[in-house]
A and B are shown apart, each in its own frame.
Chain A
Amino acid sequence: MSVVSLFAQNKQLLYNFSEIPQSLMLNPGGKQPGRAYIGVPLVSGFYLGASSSNISVYDAFDDNKFTGPNRMDQRLEYVINKLDRNDTQRATEQLELLSAGFEIGNLFNKYFLSFGLYKEIDFFNYWPDDMAYLAHHGNRVPGRRFNMADANIKGEVVTVLHVGLQHQLNDKWTIGGRLKFYSSNMDVTSTNNKGFVGSGTESDQIFNGDAEVLTSSNARLKEIYRYLRDDVFDGDINPVRDAIDMHRKVYAEGPFITGNIGVGIDLGFTYEPSRNWAYSASIIDLGFINHSDDVLNYEVTGSYGFDGTGSGTTAGDPLQVIEGDFEKTNNADSYTTMRPVEFYASAMYRFGYFRSNKPCNCPTSKEPPSAIGLQLFAEKRPRNPEVALTAFYYRKIWEPLRIKATYTVDKYSKTNLGLGLSSHFANFNFYLLANNLLEYGNLADANTLSLQMGLNYVFPVKR
């Protein structure tokens, strides 16, 4: 049984945006949004995020950048030269199917129970630097060994059922936790490859490798691959149309729950030592999925070198030839994948008053309408930990409208400005959160993008 980690995306706009009920998914110990809420089914939460470090889709596919009959060769050369093995390409999509929460308990011992169901697609890829160079150029680089561990890719579709409990211990402390039940609808994992290809005459061992691709719900994966190969690739490639068709296949077809199941927990807290200051932190998706249903793992092992044994030569033979084995095997051994562990933390300073338009000009609200702060996001990754730092400004412009503006620095962008809107009218909460706004002139040129929106009905807190 092998254990593999997955990866997720930073939702810096949603974190601490407590008027939006979905913020409890990032900190179960956050402030409750109201007395109760119901997410409008299928539209309460949609999240789409994609990132590519060091190169954008536009960089690689701009129609005007490379010309001539061998323009694709030039593109490939450009991409291979620009990226290295620590560059990543990733995408995440979440669709909330249902979501709700309400207060339970009595006046002196109140809890907020929230629960829901969502479906998630995750994809990540470390750029296979050595393998890409090998495939494009070959191995005629003196002294270079081409590392097979560069091939590192993971994709999964998961259905998640969750239930969370938040409790305000006192005026200062709020804590919470969430239990999650996962069902993986499809998984492909190839993150544990080892070995190398040697460079020409420099090496007595030209190849030594151990590659594996773990899959569960293998029959579904094969359907999707055949669709990509025969319908998408063999026809005209239209990213929007093909993406819509893919979504239909992934979401609407196949079993809802499979035998690839797991559990996980989220934990979080908020600490408010004063009216103005608030600190919070959370750990999300501490869990795993065990894959045992329709598992088919592909393994390829091989070793070619001079070892003086085998049918061609004997030890001490003055003439030795390259010999070896190249074996491809399949097995149905179960394996375990770890859910992406994320860490959020923030420090926030709230200030200001709403002023009445009456002659007294007195404050009309206990809650300060403005806040500034810093947020930290971190996730564990096999090669390097990934962190992001966000500075934010929050403002309740009007009772029906709140905004949050962010500036985030991470591996993908140093110019990531985001804006979130949360509107509250007739108890309906519509929210729209989008980052990297400076790239909206040409979305394909962005190294990172995310968009989240949804519609909830929120029962306000009784005053």
Chain B
Amino acid sequence: MRKFAQNHHFYIFLAVLLVLTSCVKEMDFDGVKDIVLEPEMEIKLLKGEFTQDFMVQEFEKYLPSGVPLQGYIPGSIVFSLPEPYKRPISLTSEERILEYLVDGTDDESGEPTPVLKFEFTNTIDSSFDFDIKLLDKDGDPIEEDGVEGDSEVQASSGGVIEKSNISYFYSAEKIKNATDVSISFTMSTVSDLHKGTDNSLTIDASGVFNFNYDISNGLP
């Protein structure tokens, strides 16, 4: 005990050395560089609600002059919008997002991505056939790599809600060139469509996108 008290500095120093040199088991720190982040994002892109009142209004707007306004759309006629709805897709203007956009596969459905999905819900007694396109900055349509689903939604008769959906598949490079979406439709009425109802056609569109950030390419 006396010897320890007189030499305790040495023993303590030795103990620290022994402890610290034996204390860390083998670990794989270099593996950090193998980390690849591959999130899959679903983003709502647009939504639309075309009420029956609105349809009657648009129909009457484009009637030839001299034709009297009836205040309704007659049944059994076919009517197309003269000009499509064209809207900008602001997300595709974000360079910092697009840099990491890649071609991938939807984890849920196994379908390729990027994919734009449109869902139509109809309570108007008229069928609608849609024509949807992505446009580039020059206004030219971008050709999709694939289409799945039905661009036509059936007329709603007797209060039955009709649904339809369609998916457009694009490559990541094509999405990066897209600046606008263009939507037009042709309606075929079954019965007379009068104002003052709650009937409508809704469109919900979302995109599923895969991103890739490989840390081995370096930190930002």
Bound Cα distance A228, B181 (Å): 43
In contact, B45 and A400 (Cβ under 8 angstroms): no
| A contact face: mostly helix, strand, loop, or mixed | mixed
Q: Which residue of A lies closest to B58 (CB)?
A: A318
**What residues on B are CB-neighbors of A238 within 8 Å?**
29
Q: Which of A68-82 contact B (CB under 8 A)?
A: 71-73, 75-76
Contact status A135-B29, CB under 8 Å: no
**Cβ 8 A contact of A321, one of B12, B25, B87:** B87
> Across the two chains, which residue of chain A brings its CB closest to B43?
A206
Per-position 1/0 for A108-149, Cβ under 8 A of B = 000000000000000000000000001111111000000000
The reply to whether the CB of B83 lies closer than 8 angstroms to some CB of chain A is: no
Of the candidates A199, A233, A304, the one whose C-beta lies within 8 Å of that of B91 is A304
Would B42 and A312 count as touching, CB distance under 8 A? no
Instruction: Indicate which residue in A137, A319, A401, A444 contacts B87 across the interface (CB closer than 8 Å).
Output: A319
Rounded to whole angstroms, the CA-CA distance of A174 and B162 in the bound complex is: 84
Asked if residues B35 and A63 are in contact (CB atoms below 8 Å), the reply is no
Q: Which residues of B contact A421 (CB under 8 A)?
A: 12
**Per-residue A-contact encoding for B1-22, CB less than 8 Å = 1, 0 else:** 1000110110010001001001
Identity of the chain B residue whose Cβ is nearest the Cβ of A238 in the assembled complex: B29
- Which residues in window 387-424 of A have CB below 8 A to B? 398, 400-401, 421, 423
Residue of A nearest to B19 (CB): A440
Is A4 part of the contact surface with B, judged by Cβ < 8 Å? Answer: no
Asked whether, in the complex, the Cβ of B89 is within 8 Å of the Cβ of A321, the reply is: yes
Q: Is the CB of A72 within 8 A of B90?
A: no
State whether A58 and B25 are in contact (beta carbons under 8 Å apart), knowing that A73-B36, A311-B88 are contacts in the complex.
Answer: yes
The reply to whether A234 and B218 form a contact with Cβ atoms under 8 Å apart is yes
How many residues of chain A have a CB within 8 Å of chain B? Answer: 61
CB pair A430–B24 under 8 Å, yes or no, is: no
Q: Which residues of B contact A25 (CB under 8 A)?
A: none
Q: Which residues of B contact A425 (CB under 8 A)?
A: 5-6, 8-9
From A206, A320, A398, contact of B48 by CB (8 A): A320
**Cβ contacts under 8 Å, A228 to chain B:** 219
Q: Is the CB of B44 within 8 A of A326?
A: no
At the interface, yes or no: A203 with Cβ under 8 Å from chain B? Answer: yes
Residue of A whose beta carbon sits closest to that of B215: A233
Contact B24 A139, beta carbon cutoff 8 Å: no
In the complex, A19→B26 CA distance in Å? 39
Kindly list chain A residues whose C-beta atoms are within 8 Å of the C-beta of B9: 423, 425, 430
Q: Does more than half of chain B's interface fall in helix, strand or loop, or is it mixed?
A: mixed
| Complex contacts, A427 vs chain B, CB 8 Å | none
Q: Which residues of A contact B198 (CB under 8 A)?
A: none
Whether the Cβ atoms of B25 and A76 lie closer than 8 Å is no
| Bitwise interface map of A from 370 to 400 toward B, beta carbon under 8 Å scored 1, else 0 | 0000000000000000000000000000101
Q: Decide if A75 touches B88 in the complex (CB within 8 Å).
A: no
Known contacts A71-B31, A319-B203: A401-B8 contact under CB 8 Å: yes
CB closest residue in chain A, given B29:
A237
Contact A138 B39 (CB under 8 A): yes
A249 within 8 A of B: no
Q: Is the CB of A140 within 8 A of B40?
A: yes
Min CB gap A52→B, angstroms: 14
Whether, in the assembled complex, A369 has its beta carbon less than 8 Å from a beta carbon of chain B, the answer is: no
Complex partner residue of B47 from A73, A137, A320, CB under 8 angstroms: A320
Q: Is B37 in contact with chain A by the CB < 8 A criterion?
A: yes
Q: How far is the CB of B15 from chain A (nearest CB, A)?
A: 8
Are A442 and B23 within 8 A (Cβ)? yes
Within the complex, the shortest CB–CB distance from B81 to chain A, in Å, comes to 11
Report the separation of the CA atoms of residues A440 and B25 in the bound assembly, to the nearest whole angstrom: 11
Whether B30 is near chain A, meaning CB under 8 Å from some CB there, is yes
Q: Do A140 and B42 contact each other (CB < 8 Å), given the known contacts A318-B50, A423-B8, A423-B12? A: yes
Question: Are the CB atoms of A75 and B19 closer together than 8 Å?
Answer: no
Residues A319 and B183 in contact, CB atoms below 8 Å apart: yes
> CA–CA, A229 to B88, complex, Å?
38
Given contacts A321-B89, A398-B5, contact A444 B36 (CB under 8 A): no
- Does A200 have its Cβ within 8 Å of any Cβ on chain B? yes
Known: A306-B47, A321-B89. A76 touches B35 (CB 8 A): yes
Beta-carbon nearest neighbor of B25 in chain A: A442
B206 within 8 A of A: yes
Tell me whether A400 and B5 are in contact in the complex, defined as CB-CB below 8 angstroms, given that A321-B88, A322-B45 are known contacts: yes
Bound-complex Cα distance A237 to B35 (A): 14
- Shortest Cβ distance from B68 into chain A, in angstroms? 26
Q: Nearest chain A CB to B57's CB is how many angstroms away?
A: 10
Query: B88 and A312: CB pair below 8 A?
Result: yes
Decide if B78 is an interface residue (CB 8 Å cutoff). no
Q: Chain B contacts of A430 at CB under 8 A? A: 9, 12
Q: How far is the CA of A453 from the CA of B19 in the complex (A)?
A: 15
A312 x B87 contact (CB < 8 A): yes
- Tell whether, in the assembled complex, residue B219 and residue A233 are in contact, meaning their CB atoms are under 8 Å apart: yes
* Sample (20) of A-B pairs whose CB atoms are under 8 Å apart: A57-B27, A58-B27, A71-B34, A72-B32, A137-B39, A138-B39, A140-B40, A200-B41, A206-B43, A206-B44, A236-B30, A238-B29, A312-B90, A321-B87, A322-B43, A324-B90, A421-B12, A425-B5, A442-B24, A443-B24
7 tightest A-B CB contacts, nearest first: A200-B42, A138-B39, A138-B40, A319-B48, A61-B27, A443-B23, A72-B34
Given contacts A200-B41, A442-B24, 18 further A-B contacts (CB under 8 A): A58-B27, A61-B28, A61-B31, A73-B36, A75-B31, A138-B41, A138-B211, A200-B43, A203-B44, A229-B218, A234-B218, A304-B90, A304-B91, A321-B89, A321-B181, A423-B9, A432-B16, A441-B23
